[in-house]
Amino acid sequence: MDLHKEDDRGSAKQKKVKIVFVIGGPGSGKGTQCKRIAQQFGYTHLSVGEILRQEISSGSETGSMIQKIMKEGKLVPSDVTVRLLQQAMQGINSDKFLIDGFPRNEENVKAFEDLTKMEPEFVLYLDCPQDEMEKRLLSRNEGREDDNVETIRKRFKVFMESTLPTIEYYESKGKIRKVDAGKSVDEVFESIKVIFSQGKDYNKVPPSRHKCKCLIL
């Protein structure tokens, strides 16, 4: 991605942009924890779900396509998602981005790498038991069209089938930092704080030792 910055004297200077992805099942607490991380560690928080919902609100044709897909709990085509994400990043002057709810599948990963030529520093994985995620989604009331039992079940299925392989991919690259996200907001944030303050290797999951709590379908 062309995120070149100009210094005070106006000379073009390449600035290293740091990216952290935050993934986890629906209701695992990504949005809640990302707000806290952003505040405490100075990241710019971008929720890809929110970016897609903004596109729906704009009333564009792409927006109505996205709305249909989201209602069914499916994934928006990667070229659309990555283009919107890249536009959002380019419009913000920041060198630390926390990308919430992305990538969701291997195609997302490839599209992101191809288009931006960037890789995340690490990937925070909020691992939460499915019954807890379902309870949270059904008790929150954000007016989301996809927070109903039927769509929630479909989103879980997409998470297991499409997103877990991306977690394995990043695990093989030593980039997964996993926390137990089934606890209270404060307790989960305590574990996250350790990862963000102790350097990027803390809580690193060794390749192929990973088991997730969400596999209780």
Residue nearest to ligand UDP (CB): 49
**Residue 144 is assigned to a ligand binding site:** yes
**Residue 68 is assigned to a ligand binding site:** no
Among 19, 33, 34, 81, contact with ligand UDP (rule: CB under 6 A): 81
**Residue 177 is assigned to a ligand binding site:** no
Residue recorded with tokens 């989103």: 155
Among 31, 63, 77, 174, contact with Mg ion (rule: CB under 5 A): 31
Site for ligand UDP in 151-170 (CB under 6 A): 155
Non-local (6+) Cβ contacts of 91 within 8 A are: none
Cβ-based nearer residue to Mg ion, 29 or 129 = 29
Peptide bond connecting 77 to the previous residue in cis, omega within 30 degrees of 0:
no
- In the sheet that holds 122-127, the strands lie side by side as 44-47, 96-100, 18-24, 122-127, 176-180
103 in helix, strand or coil?
coil
CA angle, 100 as apex, 145 and 58 as ends, to 5°? 50
Give the CA distances from residue 203 to residues 73, 169, 171, 191, in Å, rounded to whole numbers and listed in that order: 31, 17, 12, 9
> Please, what is the minimum distance in Å from the beta carbon of residue 108 to ligand UDP?
6
Partnered with residue 5 across adjacent β-strands are 13
Q: Does 101 bind ligand UDP (CB under 6 A)?
A: yes
> Please, what is the minimum distance in Å from the beta carbon of residue 97 to Mg ion?
16
Q: Which stretch binds ligand UDP (CB under 6 A): 4-12, 24-32, 35-43, 208-216?
A: 24-32
**Residue 53 is assigned to a ligand binding site:** yes
Residues at the interface with Mg ion (CB under 5 A): 30-31, 49
State the binding site. 27-32, 53, 74-76, 101-104, 108, 140, 144, 155, 183
